[in-house]
Each structure stands twice: as structure tokens, then as C-alpha cells.
């Protein structure tokens, strides 16, 4: 697990997931802190992802402090979930 100080969200990923790489870069660019968990190395994390996605191990899956989850979201969806407005 890769943690950053005061993570706003937990991102469940795999090393080979291109969508995960893209979303991580966008979140870093936007200054959104996140903790990263590789579901291929954490069985409990894989179970959580499967529970959030109808039995599928779909990544990236993001879990927010309020317990809500988004699967393969756009950066705009992440910002909206965190209550952030896009810059004009």
C-alpha cells in the first residue's frame, strides 16, 4: 500500500492497469492525495473491490472517506465526489 499524508481517497489498482496509471497521474496533477492498494497483493482489498463491483475485480476502484465508491471514474467525477469545483 502506498499512502500519502491525509489521503482523500483510497485507490484500488493493479500494476498492469493503464486506466489506473492515467487516473493516478490526473489526481497527482490536481493535487488530490490518495492511498494506493494493489489488489493483486492484498486479498482483502480484492474482496472489497469485488463487493463494490458486483463480483468483478474492476480497477481503478476509488473508495472515499464517506464509504462511497466509484469505478473507473473520470477526474471530474473524483473532484465532484470530493466536493471540489473545476478551475475556471
CATH number for position 27? 3.40.30.10
How much is the pTM? 0.86
**88 domain-assigned:** no
Q: How far are the Cα atoms of 17, 30, 53, 63, 81 from residue 42, in angstroms, in the given order?
A: 16, 27, 17, 15, 25
Structural domain containing residue 33: 9-81
What tens-digit pLDDT sequence spans the chain (88 residues)? 454 446 779 999 999 999 999 999 999 999 999 999 999 999 999 999 999 999 999 999 999 989 999 999 999 999 999 987 555 4
Q: How many domains does the chain have?
A: 1
**68 domain-assigned:** yes
Amino acid at each position: 500500500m502506498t499512502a500519502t499524508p491525509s489521503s482523500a481517497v483510497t485507490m484500488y489498482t493493479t500494476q498492469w492497469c493503464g486506466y489506473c496509471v492515467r487516473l493516478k497521474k490526473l489526481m497527482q496533477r490536481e493535487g488530490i492525495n490518495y492511498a494506493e492498494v494493489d489488489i493483486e497483493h492484498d486479498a482483502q482489498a480484492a474482496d472489497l473491490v469485488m463487493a463494490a463491483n458486483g463480483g468483478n475485480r474492476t480497477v481503478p476502484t476509488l473508495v472515499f472517506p464517506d464509504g462511497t465508491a466509484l469505478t473507473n471514474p473520470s477526474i471530474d467525477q473524483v473532484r465532484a465526489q470530493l466536493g471540489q469545483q473545476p478551475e475556471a
